[in-house]
């Protein structure tokens, strides 16, 4: 690792010194074709700029700042669902062409990202607000400069760049959701700094608990036989030190609000020709959701499905999001520059709610959950761009990134009351009747990459552009969970009068004692793990362009990858489970484009991979801290091999208008799928390699200005209107195989989370006057939400349509307002099983007003 870091520093230093040496020489000769060389195979595609779209060598889409403004989306997960072939699942994971998050790679300025998710290594995209991003490239055909973990696509996010001119903008917005704001919500009083998204220490484990468990010691009653443990009096002190807050109250939910500011400028440095430019932006938002969710569970019987649970969840969630970006660039001259970028993203969720209803045994139950979850991503990058026109237009781009993701969920509380009758509930003294959980996750990535490209002019008016690149990325992850609960000892276990009180009364200080409620350790032997992976890759690529009629790209990527997962028992150093996996792959990527005036025909072929996540490899059974379900990894998992085939036709029939149609087909060998174990009392989720799978579909997209309408139509303003739409149809089939089906009902089915139809429609009005209006419709077809088990059918998320309206108006040169109405249809979200509703809720219509002022 040290050698590689030194190599990276030497390369960066050498290139920078070359740039400095050329600073006084100016740009020699006419830059010509290579004046703006592209290290990446895909150009930055501006929305509705067909010349740039035509110049791409692969099938790609870009969502840029103009589109961000049009759609009014607050984070990138919301925005990407409007791209052809993309859908959002769970509000934060993007599925490309029906393929889940494991089949896509997310990059930020070319760097691989860590994740604050406790199980997945994929970063949730709702963490990225629009305010820090300049554009997002979605490349659907693979090319060799990208990581090989590619099935659906690569999501290349680009942060905002520093500016050459002074600007300062401030904005503020307020929003409301029908049935949420100014209505009663469910809350638990917290700390004085909760509004910042930072816990003030209220939820931290008390000092006496930290001291008693320091160094991985187990919290247990002292045993005179082993001489290990904590005296009963100390357990009493520790139990009483925990914050006694359990009772959720109903309070009025305030209005949602957002504040942001951005500033940028540039300065000449003396008379040297060097120029410093910079940009800084900060955004803060505070929003609420209140939910009433129907939750039903069914089991397969000989006469069909039978309901075993009928539950309803009532809860509220307060989300506090903060983002900051600071970037600065030093331009030595037009050919050489350095840039440093720092991005801090935070998302905090304060959740309080309870689930109440009946079980198959006709017993009533009420379970309460209280969570405070802080997620953070801190991104730091130094990059350099260098252009040497005298050396066959040599372009050198390099970058070094250090990125850290964290998840802190202090003092998560769960407790259960069992119903005596409809009006009386009694605190459950069963082992899982109450829980206090403290969990921390750290995930760090160091990433270095360098790309080189040159341009040669050959016979037949050909242009030959060879490219070389190197990437090294190292990731380290650690996850620690501690679980505690109160056990009922002595007479309190049968004191119905006490147990039918609220939990703050039940667990009052006087009731925490050796002969009453006593704290105990509930941490699982497999709750804690460390993991690391290392990726080193070289790629070579050649692009051949013949008279702008034929373009061929031939590339290959050699990639070495290894990862290690260590699951360990905090209380027994002799129990450690290691899982190792390594691979060495040489992967081809080929594409060709034929250009016939306004038409382009593209074909592409590539081979890629999909690797198991960290915990998917570990044979240790563990409890998923998000779902509470037991999961068992599989150390025998193989890496999935994928073959990708693409075709796209494009027709640019005017300067701004276009239509495209594409087909894709993918073959999977050893695809990784979740399954349910059979033959045990408690069902466990686990992972297997299915025999094979295929994914295929078609995409259609068009954009048209309505300038063909007669002048008599609305006084001739038809050219100010446009219609943009895309439609995707996707089919998939995965063959689980009888040997791996376990408790699953179906051995052959579509991929989980894949919608058969995706549709987007935008109707916009954009005159030159500074006023714009956009009507947006998004639709996704049915998709499997959860696979069925024990002969019960799969759970199907039903089709849903969403309609939004955005209006933007420049009041003056400085003032601008944005009005937004979202979820106007307010269709009911439903998941069904065999036609019966398992989950159902509505989100409510929402409206917002934003005011911008630019100095």
What does the pLDDT average to over 261-280?
92
The strand pair at 528-546 and 800-810 is best described as unpaired
Q: Which residue has the higher pLDDT, 386 or 72?
A: 386
Q: Which residue has the higher pLDDT, 524 or 450?
A: 450
What does the pLDDT average to over 618-641?
80
Task: Assign residue 197 a region (left: φ > 0; alpha: ψ between -120 and 50; beta: otherwise).
Answer: left
Share of the chain above pLDDT 70, in %: 91
Are 114 and 123 in contact by the 8 Å Cβ rule? The answer is: yes
What is the structure's pLDDT at 736? 83
User: Cβ atoms within 10 A of the Cβ of 599, count?
Assistant: 12
Confidence of residue 681 (pLDDT cuts 50, 70, 90): very low
What does the pLDDT average to over 807-829?
95
Are 651 and 43 in contact by the 8 Å Cβ rule? The answer is: no
Share of the chain above pLDDT 90, in %: 67
> Over the chain, what is the mean pLDDT?
89
Evaluate if residue 24 carries a pLDDT over 80. no
714 CB contacts (<8 Å, ≥6 apart)?
Answer: none
The strand pair at 104-108 and 153-159 is best described as parallel
Q: What is the DSSP string of 128-156?
A: SBGGGEEEEEEE-S--TTS-SB-SSEEEE
Nearest by Cα to 371 from 329, 323, 334, 318:
318
Longest dimension (CA), the chain: 97
Domain 175-185+248-488+524-854 is of which CATH architecture? Beta Barrel (2.40)
What is the structure's pLDDT at 362? 65
Evaluate if residue 515 carries a pLDDT over 60. yes
DSSP label at 369? E
Q: Which residue has the higher pLDDT, 789 or 408?
A: 408
CA distances from 302 to 289, 534, 743 (A): 41, 51, 17
Give per-residue pLDDT as tens, 306-364: 899 999 999 999 999 999 999 999 999 999 999 999 999 999 999 999 999 998 776 89
Evaluate if residue 15 carries a pLDDT over 50. no
What is the structure's pLDDT at 627? 67
Evaluate if residue 650 carries a pLDDT over 90. yes
Q: Which residue has the higher pLDDT, 657 or 53?
A: 657
Evaluate if residue 666 carries a pLDDT over 50. yes
Q: Which residue has the higher pLDDT, 2 or 723?
A: 723
Report the C-alpha gap between 527 and 539 in whole angstroms: 39
Evaluate if residue 454 carries a pLDDT over 80. yes
Give per-residue pLDDT as tens, 470-486: 999 999 999 999 999 99
What is the structure's pLDDT at 678? 59
Give per-residue pLDDT as tens, 182-237: 999 999 999 999 999 999 999 999 999 999 999 889 999 998 888 888 999 999 99
DSSP label at 58? S
What is the structure's pLDDT at 714? 67
Evaluate if residue 741 carries a pLDDT over 80. no
What does the pLDDT average to over 513-536?
93
Are 33 and 463 in contact by the 8 Å Cβ rule? The answer is: yes
**Among 203-207, 248-252, 566-570, 779-783, the least confident range:** 566-570
What is the structure's pLDDT at 424? 92
Evaluate if residue 37 carries a pLDDT over 50. no
Give per-residue pLDDT as tens, 122-175: 889 999 999 899 999 999 999 999 999 999 999 999 999 888 889 999 999 999
| SS3 assignment, position 593 | strand
Evaluate if residue 54 carries a pLDDT over 70. no
Residue 466, token pair as written in the block: 């060879």
């Amino acid at each position: 690792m040290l050698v590689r870091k030194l190599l990276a520093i030497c390369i960066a230093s050498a290139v920078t010194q070359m740039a400095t040496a050329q600073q006084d020489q100016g740009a020699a000769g006419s830059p010509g074709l290579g004046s703006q060389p592209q290290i990446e195979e895909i150009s930055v595609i501006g929305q509705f700029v067909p010349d740039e779209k035509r110049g791409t060598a692969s099938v790609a889409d870009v969502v840029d700042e103009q589109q961000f403004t049009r759609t009014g989306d607050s984070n990138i997960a919301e925005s990407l669902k409007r791209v052809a072939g993309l859908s959002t699942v769970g509000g934060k994971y993007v599925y490309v062409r029906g393929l889940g998050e494991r089949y896509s790679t997310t990059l930020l300025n070319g760097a691989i990202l860590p994740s604050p998710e406790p199980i997945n290594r994929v970063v949730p995209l709702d963490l990225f607000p629009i305010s820090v991003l300049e554009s997002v490239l979605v490349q659907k055909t693979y090319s060799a400069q990208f990581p090989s973990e590619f099935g659906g696509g690569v999501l290349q996010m680009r942060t905002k760049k520093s500016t050459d001119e002074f600007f300062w903008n401030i904005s503020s917005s307020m929003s409301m959701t029908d049935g949420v704001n100014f209505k009663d919500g469910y809350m638990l009083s917290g700390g004085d700094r909760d509004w910042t998204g930072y816990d003030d220490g209220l939820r931290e484990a008390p000092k006496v608990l930290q001291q008693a468990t320091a160094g991985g010691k187990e919290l247990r009653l002292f045993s005179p036989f082993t001489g290990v443990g904590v005296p009963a009096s100390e357990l009493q002190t520790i139990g009483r030190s925990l914050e006694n807050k359990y009772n959720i109250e109903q309070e009025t939910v305030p209005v949602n609000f957002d504040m942001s500011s951005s500033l940028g400028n540039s300065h000449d440095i003396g008379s040297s020709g060097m120029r410093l430019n910079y940009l800084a932006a900060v955004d803060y938002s505070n929003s609420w959701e209140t939910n009433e969710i129907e939750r039903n569970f069914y089991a397969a019987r000989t006469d069909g499905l039978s309901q075993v649970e009928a539950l309803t969840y009532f809860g509220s969630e307060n989300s506090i999001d903060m983002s900051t970006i600071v970037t600065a660039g030093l331009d030595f001259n037009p050919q050489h520059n350095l840039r440093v970028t720092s991005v801090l993203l935070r998302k905090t969720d304060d959740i309080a709610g309870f689930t109440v209803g009946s079980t198959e045994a006709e017993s009533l139950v009420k379970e309460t959950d209280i969570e405070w979850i802080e997620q953070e991503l801190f991104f730091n990058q130094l990059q350099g761009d260098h252009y040497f026109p005298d050396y066959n237009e040599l372009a050198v781009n390099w970058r070094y990134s250090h990125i850290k993701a964290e998840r802190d969920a202090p003092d998560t509380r769960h407790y259960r009351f069992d119903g005596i009758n409809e009006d009386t509930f009694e605190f459950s003294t069963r082992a899982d009747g109450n829980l206090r959980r403290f969990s921390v996750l750290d995930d760090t990535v160091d990433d270095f990459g360098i790309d080189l490209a040159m341009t040669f002019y050959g016979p037949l008016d050909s242009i030959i552009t060879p490219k070389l690149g190197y990437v090294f990325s190292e990731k380290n992850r650690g996850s620690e969970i501690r679980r505690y609960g109160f056990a009922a000892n002595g007479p309190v276990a049968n004191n119905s009068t006490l147990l039918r009180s609220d939990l703050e009364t039940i667990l009052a200080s006087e009731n925490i004692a050796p002969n009453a409620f006593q704290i105990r350790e509930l941490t699982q032997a497999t709750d804690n793990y460390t993991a690391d992976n290392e990726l080193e890759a070289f790629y070579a690529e050649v692009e051949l362009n013949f008279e702008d009629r034929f373009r061929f790209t031939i590339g290959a990527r050699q990639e070495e990858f290894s990862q290690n997962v260590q699951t360990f028992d905090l209380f027994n150093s002799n129990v450690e489970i290691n899982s190792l996996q390594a691979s060495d792959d040489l992967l081809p990527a080929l594409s060709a484009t034929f250009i016939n005036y306004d038409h382009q025909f593209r074909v592409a072929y590539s081979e890629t991979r999909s690797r198991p996540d960290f915990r998917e490899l570990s044979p240790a059974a563990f409890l998923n801290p998000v779902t509470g379900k037991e999961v068992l990894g599989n150390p025998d998992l193989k890496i999935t091999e994928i073959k990708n085939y693409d075709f796209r036709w494009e027709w640019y029939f005017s300067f701004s208008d276009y239509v495209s149609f594409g087909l894709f087909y993918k073959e999977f060998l050893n695809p990784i799928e979740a399954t349910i174990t059979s033959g045990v009392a408690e069902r466990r989720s686990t992972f297997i390699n299915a025999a094979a799978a295929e994914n295929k579909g078609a995409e259609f997209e068009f954009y048209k200005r309505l300038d063909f309408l007669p002048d008599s139509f609305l006084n001739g303003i038809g050219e100010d209107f446009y219609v943009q739409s895309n439609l995707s149809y996707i089919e998939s089939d995965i063959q689980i195989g009888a040997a791996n089906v376990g408790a699953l009902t179906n051995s052959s089915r579509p991929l989980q989370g894949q919608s058969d139809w995706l549709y987007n429609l935008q109707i916009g009005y954009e005159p030159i006057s500074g006023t714009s209006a956009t009507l947006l419709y998004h639709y996704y077809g049915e998709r499997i939400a959860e696979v069925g088990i024990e002969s019960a059918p799969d759970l199907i998320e039903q089709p849903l349509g969403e309609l939004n309206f955005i209006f933007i108006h420049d009041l003056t040169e400085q003032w601008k307002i944005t009005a937004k109405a979202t979820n106007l249809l307010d269709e009911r979200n439903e998941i069904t099983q065999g036609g019966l509703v398992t989950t159902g809720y509505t989100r409510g219509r929402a409206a917002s007003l934003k005011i911008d002022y630019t100095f």
